[in-house]
Amino acid sequence: MNHQALRNIIRMRSLAGVIAVSLLCFSQVFGIPPRPEAIEFQALEYTPPRAADFRRMLSDGTIVYVAESHEFPLVNVSITFKGGNSLDPAATPGLASVMARMVREGGAGDMNPAMFDEKLDFLATEMSVSSGNTFTTARMNSLSGNFDESLKLFVTMLRNPAFDKQRLEVVKARLLESLKQRNDNASSILAREWKAMLYGRKHFEASQPTALSVEAISREQLQAIQEQIIQPGNMIVAVSGDFAVEEMLEKLTKAFNGWERGAVAPDPTMPEAVLVPGLYHIQKEIPQGKVVLGKRGIVRDDPDAIPLLLLNEILGAGGFTSRLMQKVRSNEGLAYSVRSILSRRVNYPGAFQATFESKNPTVALASKIVLGEIVLIRQQPVTDEEIEVAKQGLIETFPRQFESKPTTLQVFVNDEWTNRPKDYWRTFREKVRTVTKDDLLRVAKKHLDPSQMAILVVGDWEAIAPGDLEGRATMKEFFDGEVKHLPLRDPLTLEPLPLD
């Protein structure tokens, strides 16, 4: 090694020493820990907004939630109407959904669909209408510079939908094509039949259109349900974006002027069906069985709602930290995805369910493990680590409820429609913190009784029933080996097909 190279090495080492000493001094002065795991983060301080700070009322009694946001020259309008599939006539399931689609796609006022779409494209304005089980929502997003013209078109669309006859035939044809395919996917069969078992095939939660009911939909039916749902007496408005609040309220008052107020839509009907525990199967020759098991659950405002929410996080809703994911996927490799779901309803109990898919020979073993974890969580308290992880998951993700102005206002709109307690969001995290392991054990024993659950399997029974090659489980281990084979239903008529 020559002298020049040696001098360069000495200089580099000296420089590295100086840098190391400088960083040490810097970290000491500014309190930076020497290693990443020693970093301490301050507690998250977040206060949720209050609905009252955004709530206004127009002169005609319409409730409006408004939030200014001047980051972008955009305005978002969302109008939530009470009623959706819950108002479908018994003979025409899906009518509200078709109505919502046709309000947007069927033209407005004296404009045919093409003319209306062209106007929206010219203004760079987006509009949509969708219908769910209990609410129908109309949304508009426009530039603040042409908001006035966009709002006029939006209200015209809602007040005077054209329900173009040709477009209606196109919508019905597309819907009929989708009906033809609803037995192609085993997951859709599973969801359809599970809802029928939970709520009854005639309840709106489970009722589905047939080819005859779709073909019978008329403009007159669409107009009747549109007039019932889409009207000022049955709506709450949310507006966020680039505007001044008082000016926006004046514009909305003018836009809604003369629009007749009707009655508020009725609450959804209670399901009359009772889930009968047992093992059920629908034959479909596929390599993986689709499985759901569970029971009716609780209403949204049940006193046990928060403890049960935490318990569900630990059991199967918490992703890779949940017991079901660890046992069924990580430890045994029996399913790519497995989870538990706690669905709550406002007016009647929802459902608790666990769902997964597994190779036919391992369906029994995966089912046995899932039920075993449900039994175990009712017998033994969860660990300190499990309850802490679940609590932190709910608490630290809590601000996502209010991550933007539109989502914040939608929370308030939903709360107003469903009469959620006014202090719910302010007290939620503290209620989560105070839940104990004894609370979780109590709600598990009360709400997760396996003897009240049903198991529904869609798949090839001949390959599923014997179980795995190692003999760890067979389908005879459930409900004393009794299984009820349900018929697959014709995709267009929903009439039962003959069992093989």
- Residue 70 is part of a domain; what is its CATH number? 3.30.830.10
Q: 363 and 244 in one domain?
A: no
In a domain, 492, yes or no: no
In a domain, 273, yes or no: no
Q: 156 and 193 in one domain?
A: yes
Nearest in space to 260 (alpha carbons), one of 235, 292, 297, 241 = 235
Residue 290 lies in domain: 278-486
Q: 235 and 366 in one domain?
A: no
The pTM assigned to this predicted structure is: 0.90
In a domain, 493, yes or no: no
Q: Are 273 and 198 in contact (CB under 8 A)?
A: yes
Q: 377 and 236 in one domain?
A: no
Residues sharing a CB contact under 8 Å with residue 38, sequence separation 6 or more, in sequence order: none
In a domain, 44, yes or no: no
How does DSSP assign 463-488, residue by residue? HHTT--TT-S--GGGSGGG-EEEEPP
Q: 246 and 171 in one domain?
A: yes
Q: Last residue of a domain, which of 256, 290, 320?
A: 256
Please identify which residue in the block is written with the tokens 């507006």. 239
Q: 97 and 209 in one domain?
A: yes
At position 351, the amino acid (one-letter code) is: A
Q: 231 and 118 in one domain?
A: yes
Q: 364 and 284 in one domain?
A: yes
Q: 205 and 100 in one domain?
A: yes
- Alpha-helical segments (H) within 293-353: 305-312, 323-324
Residues sharing a CB contact under 8 Å with residue 293, sequence separation 6 or more, in sequence order: 353, 354, 355, 367, 370, 371, 453, 454, 455, 456
- The phi and psi torsions of 326 (rounded to 5 degrees) equal -65, -45
Cα torsion 325, 330, 333, 339 to 10°: value is: 10
In a domain, 99, yes or no: yes
Domain count for the chain, please give it: 2
Please list the pLDDT of the chain residue by residue as tens digits (500 residues).
555 555 555 556 555 555 555 545 555 555 677 777 777 777 668 899 999 999 999 999 999 999 999 999 999 999 999 999 999 999 999 999 999 999 999 999 999 999 999 999 999 999 999 999 999 999 999 999 999 999 999 999 999 999 999 999 999 999 999 999 999 999 999 999 999 999 999 999 999 999 999 999 999 999 999 999 999 999 999 999 999 999 999 999 999 999 999 999 999 999 999 999 999 999 999 999 999 999 999 999 999 999 999 999 999 999 999 999 999 999 999 999 999 999 999 999 999 999 999 999 999 999 999 999 999 999 999 999 999 999 999 999 999 999 999 999 999 999 999 999 999 999 999 999 999 999 999 999 999 999 999 999 999 999 999 999 999 999 999 999 999 999 999 999 999 999 87
Q: 291 and 190 in one domain?
A: no
Longest dimension (CA), the chain: 98
Q: 157 and 68 in one domain?
A: yes
In a domain, 39, yes or no: no
- What are 434's two structure tokens? 């105070």
- From CA 279, how far away is CA 474, in angstroms rounded? 13
Residues sharing a CB contact under 8 Å with residue 5, sequence separation 6 or more, in sequence order: none
- From CA 347, how far away is CA 458, in angstroms rounded? 30
- From CA 470, how far away is CA 361, in angstroms rounded? 10
Q: Are strands 74-82 and 135-143 parallel, antiparallel or unpaired?
A: antiparallel
In a domain, 3, yes or no: no
- From CA 370, how far away is CA 455, in angstroms rounded? 11
Q: 289 and 234 in one domain?
A: no
In a domain, 129, yes or no: yes
- From CA 479, how far away is CA 138, in angstroms rounded? 47
- What are 19's two structure tokens? 């840098």
